[in-house]
Amino acid sequence: MHIYLHKNDSICTNFGLFAQNEFYLHKTFATVFHTIIHPQTLNGQKLQNNHFYLIVQQITVRIIHKVQKIITIIMVAVATLGSHCSLQVLKGAKDEGLKTILVCEKKREKLYKRFPFIDELIIVDSFKEVLDQKCQSILEQNNAVLIPHGTLIAQMSSEEIESIKTPVFGNKWILRWESDREMKEKLMREASLPMPAPISDPKDIDKMVIVKRQGAAGGKGYFMAASPEQYHTKREQLISEGVLSEDETLYIQEYAAGVLAYLQFFYSPLKEELEFFGVDQRHESDIEGLARIPAEQQLKLTKVPSFNVIGNSPLVLRESLLEQVYEMGENFVEASKRIVSPGMNGPFCIEGVYDENAQFKSFEFSARIVAGSNIYMDGSPYYSLLFNENMSMGKRIAREIKTAVQSNQLDKITT
Ligand code: AMP
């Protein structure tokens, strides 16, 4: 009886939104049908007349609750900027039954129109228009939750991001800690993440260092140096090429050699649980291209190689490394709760290098979804251990929004 009802419950199959509490609804239906078919018994007792009406009343109340929940969910939209990981985010939202909105630059309209899971495009000349009243009121009318990603951080100041009126998924205040190198270092120390040493003055460079720009620059304009002279020569060269500006504050860090690993996590404030999602590697140009050139030719090159991210590929870790991975993730979540309320909610990434002793050194974190999660649009190896369904990071975000809406806790997962 239970299976029969499940298969024919058209509301359930059409909307696909009855995952939680579904069992109770079915159980109630099953009891009623059982009663109709075997009117003389109800749970082994003789049927009283008012039993039947009581059950019908219960079902009606439950159906009304379910329909209310569906309507609430249908009324929520997921919005993001058209770049970085927007396809994954919106596909995940659509799969979860939410409306999808893309803030799309005019020049990319043709690209994004190819994807049928995007319900609405807000066409803009520049992403900064997301701050304008016009754009914000469209998002407000749709009860949208904005999913922040690298493009938002790269193109807007922390003040601008913090001024966004639309609820931002996760913690918008922590994005400032991602953008500012000094603050970033402070949070990483608080989380006891093992880090390559920072070098505060170029004159102290006595080993290989990497010189970085502020914000989510994607590695463009970074350079390596092994002495103060090299630092100044390369900096001047990049300024003359227009890659760096004269007054740009650069961040110098000891270069960590080894296997690059970008560890992707999701922290659910609703479940108060950390999930390890996956690992990726970034492919960066043109530093990777250097390895394909014989040393003799490399020595003749005058161009300063960059670390511009071109794409990502998957990586799985030795299982013995997982314990430390969870520990680092949990330490990061705890540290961010102490330092930047409400803490590191939603997706984040700890980025670094495993050395020859499989010791991890973290040079960076991202306090939001990373583009490296795009490689797992059909689910990641580690999520397949936690979920019995294909679960991308975009879908995980949408699932969290849906759960929060259903339980009236949207405030807990947005800022
Ligand atoms: P980031 O912007 O900090 O993620 O750095 C961009 C890229 O630079 C990374 O993906 C790495 O390839 C490289 N990188 C950054 N910091 C270091 C470091 N301390 N040691 C080695 N490579 C680094």
pLDDT tens readout for residues 100-145: 999 999 999 999 999 999 999 999 999 999 999 999 999 999 999 9
How far, in Å, is the centroid of ligand 1 from the Cα of 362? 9
Are 283 and 369 contained in the same domain? yes
Are 290 and 408 contained in the same domain? yes
> What pTM value is reported for the model?
0.83
Domain C-terminal end among 215, 235, 252? 252
- Is the pLDDT higher at 229 or at 52? 229
Are 104 and 59 contained in the same domain? no
- Token digits of residue 42: 């109800």
Are 328 and 406 contained in the same domain? yes
Distance CA 8, CA 147 (A): 36
Are 114 and 155 contained in the same domain? yes
How far, in Å, is the centroid of ligand 1 from the Cα of 22? 47
Task: Residue count of the chain, please give it.
Answer: 415
With a cut of 50, say whether residue 310 has pLDDT above it. Answer: yes
With a cut of 60, say whether residue 359 has pLDDT above it. Answer: yes
Whether 365 lines ligand 1, by a CB cut-off of 6 Å, is: no
| Stretch 367-383: mean pLDDT | 97
Are 344 and 293 contained in the same domain? yes
Whether 282 lines ligand 1, by a CB cut-off of 6 Å, is: yes
Specify which residues 223 forms β-bridges with.
Answer: 211
- Residue 45 neighbours by CB under 8 Å, 6+ apart: none
> Helix, strand or coil for residue 56?
helix
pLDDT at 220: 80
Alpha carbon nearest to ligand 1 atom 3, residue: 364
Whether 219 lines ligand 1, by a CB cut-off of 6 Å, is: yes
- Residue 369 neighbours by CB under 8 Å, 6+ apart: 85, 89, 147, 148, 149, 346, 347, 393, 394, 397
With a cut of 90, say whether residue 74 has pLDDT above it. Answer: no
Task: Look up the domain containing 96 and give its range.
Answer: 77-168
Atom of ligand 1 nearest to the CA of 222: 8
Whether 379 lines ligand 1, by a CB cut-off of 6 Å, is: no
Atom of ligand 1 nearest to the CA of 254: 19
Alpha carbon nearest to ligand 1 atom 6, residue: 219
Counting other chains too, the contacts that 379-388 makes at CB distance below 8 Å and 24 or more residues apart are: 380/264, 380/277, 380/278, 380/314, 381/278, 381/314, 381/316, 382/275, 382/276, 382/277, 382/278, 383/275, 383/277, 383/278, 386/275
Nearest of 291, 311, 270, 313 to residue 406 by alpha carbon = 270
pLDDT at 163: 95
Are 15 and 54 contained in the same domain? yes
